[in-house]
Chain A
Amino acid sequence: MSVIQVNNVSKHFGALKAVNGLSFEVQAGQVFGFLGQNGSGKSTTIRMLLSLIHPTSGSIEIFGHSIQSNRNKVLEEIGAIIERPDLYPYLSAREHLQLFSKLRSKKITSSSIEDTLIKVGLQDRAKDKVQTFSLGMKQRLGIGIALLHNPSLIILDEPTNGLDPQGISDIRNLIQHLAKEEGKTVLVSSHILSEIEQMASHILILHKGKKLADGPIQTLLDPNKMIVHITTTNDAQALQVILAGSFSNYLLKRAEGIYLSIPHFEIPLLNQFLINAGVGLINVESRNSLEDYFLQLTSNTN
């Protein structure tokens, strides 16, 4: 069942095309990773999903309802945090949850507020005002607000922002728990691509407002096409001979280092080619990861 369906959505701010003809679908139970560099349009898209921004064109359906015409009904089933965890500094964590519980038609009991505090690890700081919280704690409280009414769809924009490694791990586990154990659909964006790699079942890569790729993570990351980072005795000379030869098609444009997207069986041939050109190969590092896939796609577009 399709939870989110985005059809040819564009958003223009004057001459700037923040999102340009974007279409994608998120199915129930998926952890959908939303990837893109800063300014790629992912926050704009997320805001359009939450009707914070009106699309210039196109349509968005969530749970089969148009977000424009059935906004309140749709938002009742969504929990979200968008970018920074901005909260009221003069209120405590518990007050935040109590307050936001009033805005939901579902009855939220005080015990479920306490459960949420435990879920996001703020039970010991429940009485403290948010102005005394670290960014990580605010982020966790933001997630707590998003989860409070037990929504079917959770949209988390950069949820690991400002968290320490333990916090990041906790959030990752929480998202996986929500999807696997509670059957929630999660749309998560992050600039930490390795996080998405570990959490998401599906990804969408957005670049300059356009979709570059989307699909199941296993399909997108082709194990037969490896990205390698090579270290040679003379990188400048190696780059010259690669550019001049048949391996130039595999070369990825990077600011530093030599990266190639190359079938794994051609690595010995590359080694031989470099030796023949008088360049010694010191190290070949295989990086068949989402980050490399992402960088490969975006560098090609650049």
Chain B
Amino acid sequence: MKAIISFELYKIFRRPRTYIAFGAIAALIIVIQFGLKVDGQSYAAFLMKDINDTLTVDGKVLNGYLICYILLQLLLVHVPLLVALIAADMISGEANLGTLRLLFSTPFTRTQWVLGKFVAASIYTIVLLIWLAFLALFVSMWVFGTDDLFLMKSNYVVLIQQNDVLWRYVGAFVFASFALLTVTSLGFLMSSIANNSIGPIVGTMSAIVFFTILSTLNIPLFSVIKPYLFTTHMNNWKEFFDIQVNDNNEAITGSILNVAKIKTSLMVLSIHIVLFVATAVYITKKKDILS
């Protein structure tokens, strides 16, 4: 198994395609950071229009923590598509290339191969996420400095003290890794079905887009199925940045408003991961390698 993982990782990181995602993330983040560095104050003023009518906000609102939150909001919608580029190609790409028969005639079971490949794809996903975290969080902290996180949500504002922020990002990134691993496992499932590269990649991307639309539409008909869609839960990393208040309306430092929501989402995502991977193993075990 260890041999398969190192074999697969070697291939992943020798493929030019792998670095498209790293490059795309770096480009997006740098462009957004540049834009906010140059003209961030007017963006912040736009966001705080309603607040500024009543209150004077004193401090570094546009700090690294807020920039990271903005970046994650924007990117965690798109990163799954970049993950799909690699994950959905892990089995079908080899089938298309013809190398799958070379792999499956080595002294490892297909279950070992699928799981090994999944672990390798998961490592890639997590490395991509670490890259994202490094650029979005640490580079932003370096470029924009740090202060309290002044988070403007749709209906209210959350002010989180700066010493209470970093652990939330750790939590958010761990949560995001579950969300992205769900995408990885979906890509895997698609990859186990097809014998070409493009189909599963497009299939995975389409499924994400399709389910995301269902998750975001507030139509009662879809509300019934929403709780079961992985896309509904993928964005719940944001829950780490909502805080409890006591009876005096004082925010409780170190608290999370809805821990149960995070737990439920993690459970739903984990179930999806297990189901997708198990199905991929089953399909791969059963299928004849004809390519």
A73 to B109, CA, bound (A): 11
Q: Does A195 contact B (CB under 8 A)?
A: no
Min CB–CB distance B288 → chain A (angstroms): 4
Q: Does B246 contact A (CB under 8 A)?
A: no
Q: Mark A144-161, 1 if CB is under 8 A from B, else 0.
A: 010000000000000000
Q: Does B290 contact A (CB under 8 A)?
A: yes
Q: Does B43 contact A (CB under 8 A)?
A: no
B residues less than 8 Å from A86 (CB atoms): 97-99, 101-102
Question: Residues of A within 8 Å of B, CB-based: how many?
Answer: 31
**Smallest Cβ-Cβ distance to B105: which chain A residue:** A50
Q: Does B108 contact A (CB under 8 A)?
A: yes
Q: Does A107 contact B (CB under 8 A)?
A: no
A82 to B7, CA, bound (A): 21
B residues less than 8 Å from A72 (CB atoms): 107-109
Min CB–CB distance B290 → chain A (angstroms): 7
Quick check: B107 and A103 within 8 Å, CB to CB?
A: yes
B residues less than 8 Å from A83 (CB atoms): 98
Binds A, one of B11-19, B59-67, B74-82, B173-181: B11-19
Instruction: State which residues 87-123 of B face A: CB under 8 Å.
Output: 97-99, 101-102, 104-109
Min CB–CB distance B158 → chain A (angstroms): 47
A residues less than 8 Å from B6 (CB atoms): 102
Q: Does B4 contact A (CB under 8 A)?
A: yes
A104 to B14, CA, bound (A): 21
Q: Mark A83-97, 1 if CB is under 8 A from B, else 0.
A: 110111011000100
Q: CB < 8 Å: which of A13, A47, A80, A105 contacts B289?
A: A47
B residues less than 8 Å from A71 (CB atoms): 107, 109
B residues less than 8 Å from A90 (CB atoms): 14-16
Q: Does A75 contact B (CB under 8 A)?
A: yes
User: Binding site of A, secondary structure by majority: helix, strand, loop or mixed?
Assistant: loop
**Smallest Cβ-Cβ distance to B288: which chain A residue:** A53
A84 to B100, CA, bound (A): 12
Quick check: A88 and B98 within 8 Å, CB to CB?
A: no
What is the interface residue range for chain B against chain A?
Answer: 20 to 34
Min CB–CB distance B166 → chain A (angstroms): 39
**Smallest Cβ-Cβ distance to A85: which chain B residue:** B98
Q: Does A51 contact B (CB under 8 A)?
A: yes
Min CB–CB distance A188 → chain B (angstroms): 16
**Smallest Cβ-Cβ distance to B15: which chain A residue:** A90
A residues less than 8 Å from B142 (CB atoms): none
Q: Does B3 contact A (CB under 8 A)?
A: yes
Quick check: A52 and B101 within 8 Å, CB to CB?
A: yes
Quick check: A88 and B97 within 8 Å, CB to CB?
A: yes
Q: Which of B11, B97, B102, B286 has the most CB of A within 10 A?
A: B102
Q: Does A35 contact B (CB under 8 A)?
A: no
Quick check: B105 and A78 within 8 Å, CB to CB?
A: yes
Quick check: A102 and B107 within 8 Å, CB to CB?
A: no
Instruction: State which residues 219-272 of B face A: CB under 8 Å.
Output: none
A residues less than 8 Å from B3 (CB atoms): 102-103
Quick check: A105 and B107 within 8 Å, CB to CB?
A: yes
B residues less than 8 Å from A54 (CB atoms): 286, 288
Quick check: A75 and B107 within 8 Å, CB to CB?
A: yes
Min CB–CB distance A79 → chain B (angstroms): 9
19 contacts between A and B (CB under 8 A): A47-B101, A50-B101, A50-B105, A52-B101, A52-B288, A52-B289, A53-B290, A71-B107, A75-B106, A78-B105, A80-B105, A82-B105, A83-B98, A86-B102, A87-B102, A90-B15, A95-B14, A99-B7, A103-B3
In addition to A52-B101, A87-B102, A99-B10, 18 A-B residue pairs with Cβ atoms within 8 Å of each other are: A50-B101, A52-B104, A53-B288, A72-B107, A72-B109, A84-B98, A86-B101, A86-B102, A87-B99, A88-B11, A90-B14, A91-B14, A103-B3, A103-B4, A103-B107, A103-B108, A104-B107, A145-B102
